[in-house]
Amino acid sequence: MSQVSLSREEAIIGQLKARFPEAIEETKIDRARRVTIHFEKDHVQEIAMFMRDELGFDHVKGVAGVDLPTQKKIEVLYFAGSYSNAEVQDFIVILKAKLPRDNPIIASVVSVWESAHFHERETFEMFGVKFEGHPDLRKLLTLDNWEGPPPMLKDIKFPEMGQR
Amino acid sequence: MTTEPPSPGISISKTAEPSTLDVSVGPQHPGSGHCRILIRVDGDYIVSADPDIGYVHRGCEKIAEYRNYVSNIPHLERPNIADAIHLNWGYVLPIEELQGVVVPPRGKYISTIAAEMNRIMSHLYGLAIMQGVFSGHTTIFMWAFGDRDLFIELAEMLTGARLTYSFLVPGGPRRDLPFGFEDRLSRLLDYFEKRLVEYDRIFFSNPSVIARAKGIGVLKREDAKKLGVVGPVLRASGVKYDVRKVEPYGAYADLEFDIPTFEEGDSYSRYLIRFEEMKQSVRIIRQALEKIPKGPIARKAPLVAPEGEATGRVESSRGEITYLVMGDNSDKPSRVKIMNGSFRNLIALPFLVRNVHVADMPIIYGSLDYWPVEADR
Amino acid sequence: MSQDTLQDFAGVWIGKMSELVQTIIGSGPIKYIVNWSRMYALWPVHITTACCSAEFGAMMGPRLDPERFGMQAVAGGLRQCDLLIVEGTVTKKMAKRLKIVYEQMPKPRYVIAMGDCACSGGLFHDSYSIVNDVHKLFPIDVYVPGCPPRPEALLSAIVKLREKIRRQEVFA
C-alpha cells in the first residue's frame, strides 16, 4: 500500500482546507480513493456546494447515521461520489458531522444534492436526525408499524432481540 | 383504498386539483410486488407519484449489530436473493480490509466466476418478470426462466444452494470449483450464447416490445447524474460508470470487458443494456475459466475485526452497492450501512412517471429493475 | 361456487329440505365432483410479501409447470383467487394488508406459508419490524419450511393441499 501515491487524495483535502479553514476539523486518508473529512455541522451546505461545483462530486451514494452513545453524539455521514469529473470518479469522500444526541438537527443538502432525498428521510426515521429544509421529511420505511423512538439508536432494545 | 391519508410526496403537489384522483398501486397487484406507489392521475395521465416503500423492511442494519461477522452473511444477502453473491461480496470486502486479509488469486477468480453467473441469473430474472411479464410478453418469461434454471443448477453445484449461497466469507470463497464444473459451465455458455440471439429475435426486436418501451420514461444524462442513479439505469443514460472498471475488485483488473452504454436513456435502452451486459458476463466467465490460476482458494481470517471503519463496494446487477462496516475490536460490527442500487434508483421512479400514461408505468417500473426487498433491507 | 353461496342457494330454493339436500350433496358422489373441481382450480393471489417470491416464480416457470395441477397463472383480482401463498417474511406493515387481502378472498380459501419466515420468523426472528406468528392472522393449511424452499418443495405443498381438498367436507 505504501507505494501508492496519495497525491489526488491530498489535493482534495488541500482544496477543502484552503476554502474552509475553520469548518474542517479533521481529515484522514483511509486508503487510496477513500477520504474522510470531519466538519463543523453549520457549514454542511457550503461544503456540499463547494464539493459539487468546484470538485465535481455531483451525487451522494448515501447518507448514514452512526450513534455514539458514549460521546453523546450522533454522527451523520455523507458518501459523496462523482460521475462528471473523470479524475475523481473512483473516489468516495465521506463527510462527517457530529450532532448532539438529544437534539440532532442539521441543514438538509437536498437543495445541493437531489440524490440525498430518500437517504435523508431514512436517516431521519432511523436516527431521529432532523434535516432542516428538506422538502418532505416523513418516515419512509416504517411508516405505520413503528411508534416510538428511532429504532437504530444503540440504547433501543426490543423484546424480540436474543429470543432464541 | 388507501389506508393512510394521501401523503405529499417527492412531487405530489399539496393541493389536489378537483379533476385529479389519488390511486394506490400495490402492495397487492400484478406487478409491483411488495411496494406501494401512490399515484395522482388526471384522466389517463399520472400527475405525480409517491413511492411508499418499507413493506419488506426487516431491520437488517439493526440485526447486524447484534450478530457476529460471519452469522451476518446469511441475512445480509437475503435482501436480494436474485443477486446474493454481490450483496455477500460487498459486505465481505470491507471486513477483509479491516482485518488486512488478502484473498489468494484463485479465490478471487472463483468469486468472479460466481458473481458473473449471478449477474446473468439476475438479468434473466429481470428480463423474465420485470420486463417480460410487465409488458405482457409471457414467452420471454418461460424462456428466460428456463435458461435461468440451468445457471442455478451450476450455482448449486458450486455453492450448495440454489439462490442463497453465503459463498464468500472473509478470507475467500468456501469451496473450490467442483470436478467437471468448468466443462459444464463452458458448454452452458455455448448454449446460452445461441439463446441470446433468439432472445433478440423474440423480444428485443419484437415490434410490440419496441412500440411499448421505446421513448418511454426518458432519463437524460444530466438528470441521471443529478439524481445519483446507478448501474444499468445510469449506463443507459450515457454515463460510463462501472465499479468493476472504476475500482476493480476480485479478478476484474486482469480481465477484458466493455462497459456498454446507450445515449437514449429510455425504457428500451434500459432493457437492452442488461442484454448487452449478459454478453459481457459470458465473455468475462470465459476468460476467467481460461486464466484461473492454481493454488489455495482462501486464507484464514480472524473472527474479530479491529477498531476502525472501511467502505467497500461492488457492482451488483442493480448497480453499485456500498457497504460501510465499523468494527470495535469485538466479533460484532458496531455499524453496518448498506447503500444499494435499488434504493438509489428509487428516486428515478417518481421523476420518470410524471406526465405518462398509467399503462406506461409498469414499463418504466420494470425497466428500472427495482427490487423492493433490497431497497427496504 | 363457495360454501356460503351454496348454502344460501339450498336454503332459498329448497326451504325446509335444505338440510336433506346438504346431506345428499355432502355425502354422495356430488361431494367428490365438487372437491375434484376445486382441486383443479387453485388460483394463487399475487401478493409477494418478501424474497421467497423468486422461488415462487421458479415454480410457476417452465420446469415444474404447475398448470398441470390446475394452477393458473397468477391473477390480479382477489375475487378470482382461492389460494394465498405467504411468500416469506411478513412485516408488521405488510401484515395489515395481508389480512385485508385474505378477508377479501371468497370461500373456500387456502393458505400456504412458504419459507421459514412465514412459518416461524426464521432468520429474521429477532427483528423489530416483522411478525413471527403468521398463523395468528389466519389459519394456515400447509407449511413449507426452507430459506427459501426449493420450487419442488412448494409444488409438493400444493400436491398436499390438493389431497386435503379432495378429502374435505363440502359443508364444513
pLDDT at B50: 84
C13 pLDDT higher than 70? no
Higher pLDDT, C43 or B121: B121
Tell me which residue of B13, B34, B8, B38 sits closest to B23, measured CA to CA: B38
Instruction: Please check whether residue C126 touches A, CB under 8 A.
Output: yes
Percent pLDDT > 70 in chain B is 94
pLDDT at A144: 64
Q: How far apart are CA C25 and CA C146, in angstroms?
A: 39
Q: Are B114 and B304 in contact (CB under 8 A)?
A: no
Nearest by CB to residue A160, choosing from C91, C96, C128, is: C128
Quote the minimal CA–CA distance from C150 to chain B in Å.
Answer: 8
Sort out which chain C residues have CB atoms less than 8 A from B57's CB and list them: 91, 93, 129
Q: Domain A7-132: which CATH class?
A: alpha beta
pLDDT at B163: 87
Q: How far apart are CA B219 and CA C161, in angstroms?
A: 47
Quote the minimal CA–CA distance from C74 to chain B in Å.
Answer: 8
Instruction: Please check whether residue C31 touches B, CB under 8 A.
Output: no
Residue A164 to residue C126, Cβ atoms within 8 A: yes
- Look up cell 414467452; give the residue: B139
pLDDT tens, position by position, B163-177: 888 889 888 898 888
Q: Which residue of C has its CA nearest to B148?
A: C58
**What superfamily would CATH give domain B60-351?**
Cytochrome-c3 Hydrogenase, chain B (1.10.645.10)
pTM above 0.90, yes or no: no
B219 pLDDT higher than 70? yes
pLDDT at B17: 63
Of the pLDDT bands very low, low, confident and very high (cuts 50, 70, 90), residue B11 is very low
pLDDT tens, position by position, B117-154: 999 999 998 888 888 888 878 888 889 888 999 999 99
Residue A160 to residue C91, Cβ atoms within 8 A: no
Q: HSE of C106 in the Cβ direction (CA atoms, 13 Å)? A: 14
A117 pLDDT higher than 50? yes
Residue C124 to residue B58, Cβ atoms within 8 A: yes
C41 pLDDT higher than 50? yes
Of the pLDDT bands very low, low, confident and very high (cuts 50, 70, 90), residue C4 is low
Of the pLDDT bands very low, low, confident and very high (cuts 50, 70, 90), residue A1 is very low
Q: What is the mean pLDDT of residues A38-52?
A: 86
Between β-strands A92-100 and A34-39, what pairing exists: parallel, antiparallel or unpaired? Answer: parallel
Quote the minimal CA–CA distance from A11 to chain B in Å.
Answer: 19
pLDDT at B9: 40
Of the pLDDT bands very low, low, confident and very high (cuts 50, 70, 90), residue C5 is low
Q: Could you state, in order of their start, the residue ranges of all structural domains in chain B?
A: 60-351
Which set of grid coordinates corresponds to residue B295? 493454488
Which residues make beta-bridge pairs with A132?
A: A107
Quote the minimal CA–CA distance from A132 to chain B in Å.
Answer: 16
pLDDT tens, position by position, C50-82: 888 888 888 888 888 888 887 876 666 777 788
Least confident span in B342-356, C18-32, C104-118, C134-148: C18-32
Mean pLDDT of all residues belonging to chain C: 80
Quote the minimal CA–CA distance from A117 to chain B in Å.
Answer: 8
B5 pLDDT higher than 50? no
Q: What is the mean pLDDT of residues B304-312?
A: 87
pLDDT tens, position by position, B19-77: 788 888 877 765 656 788 888 888 888 888 888 888 888 888 888 888 888 888 988 88
Which residues fall within 8 angstroms of residue B345, CB to CB, at 6 or more apart?
A: B229, B230, B231, B233, B318, B319, B368, B369, B370
Element housing C112 (H / E):
strand C110-114
Mean pLDDT of all residues belonging to chain B: 85
Kindly tell me the burial class for residue C46, based on how many C-beta atoms sit within 10 Å of its own C-beta (0-12, 13-18, 19 or more).
buried
pLDDT tens, position by position, B91-107: 999 999 888 888 999 99
Q: Which of A122, A125, A145, A156 to mutate to test the interface with C (most CBs of C within 10 A)?
A: A145
- Look up cell 481529515; give the residue: A27
Residue A145 to residue C125, Cβ atoms within 8 A: no
pLDDT tens, position by position, A62-110: 898 888 888 888 889 999 888 888 778 888 889 888 888 888 888 888 8
pLDDT at C3: 56
Of the pLDDT bands very low, low, confident and very high (cuts 50, 70, 90), residue C172 is low
Which residues fall within 8 angstroms of residue B266, CB to CB, at 6 or more apart?
A: B213, B214, B215, B216, B217, B218, B219, B236
Q: What is the mean pLDDT of residues A30-44?
A: 84
Tell me which residue of A106, A99, A114, A128 sits closest to A60, measured CA to CA: A114
Sort out which chain A residues have CB atoms less than 8 A from B57's CB and list them: 141-142
Q: Could you state, in order of their start, the residue ranges of all structural domains in chain A?
A: 7-132
Other Cβ atoms closer than 10 A to B157: 16
A138 pLDDT higher than 60? yes
Residue A142 to residue C127, Cβ atoms within 8 A: no
Q: Are C148 and C52 in contact (CB under 8 A)?
A: yes
Nearest by CB to residue C91, choosing from A145, A160, A164, is: A145
- HEC states along chain A? CCCCCCHHHHHHHHHHHHHCCCCEEEEEEEECCEEEEEECHHHHHHHHHHHHHCCCCCEEEEEEEEEECCCCEEEEEEEEECCCCHHHCCCEEEEEEEEECCCCEEECCCCCCHHHHHHHHHHHHHHCCEEECCCCCCCCCCCCCCCCCCCCCCCCCCCCCCCC
Nearest by CB to residue A144, choosing from C93, C126, C128, is: C93
Q: What is the mean pLDDT of residues C156-161?
A: 90
Residue C93 to residue A142, Cβ atoms within 8 A: yes
Q: What is the mean pLDDT of residues B314-338?
A: 89
pLDDT at B187: 92
Sort out which chain A residues have CB atoms less than 8 A from B8's CB and list them: 136
Quote the minimal CA–CA distance from C91 to chain A in Å.
Answer: 9
Q: Which of A160, A161, A163, A164 to mutate to test the interface with C (most CBs of C within 10 A)?
A: A160
Which set of grid coordinates corresponds to residue A35? 477520504
pLDDT at C12: 58
Least confident span in B114-123, B189-198, C16-25, C145-154: C16-25
Of the pLDDT bands very low, low, confident and very high (cuts 50, 70, 90), residue A4 is low
Tell me which residue of B20, A149, B275, B84 sits closest to C128, measured CA to CA: A149
pLDDT at C7: 57
Between β-strands A105-107 and A130-132, what pairing exists: parallel, antiparallel or unpaired? Answer: parallel
Size of interface A-C (CB pairs under 8 A): 27
Q: Could you state, in order of their start, the residue ranges of all structural domains in chain C?
A: 44-153
Kindly tell me the burial class for residue B347, based on how many C-beta atoms sit within 10 Å of its own C-beta (0-12, 13-18, 19 or more).
buried
> Has domain C44-153 been given CATH number 3.40.50.12280?
yes
Residue C58 to residue B145, Cβ atoms within 8 A: yes
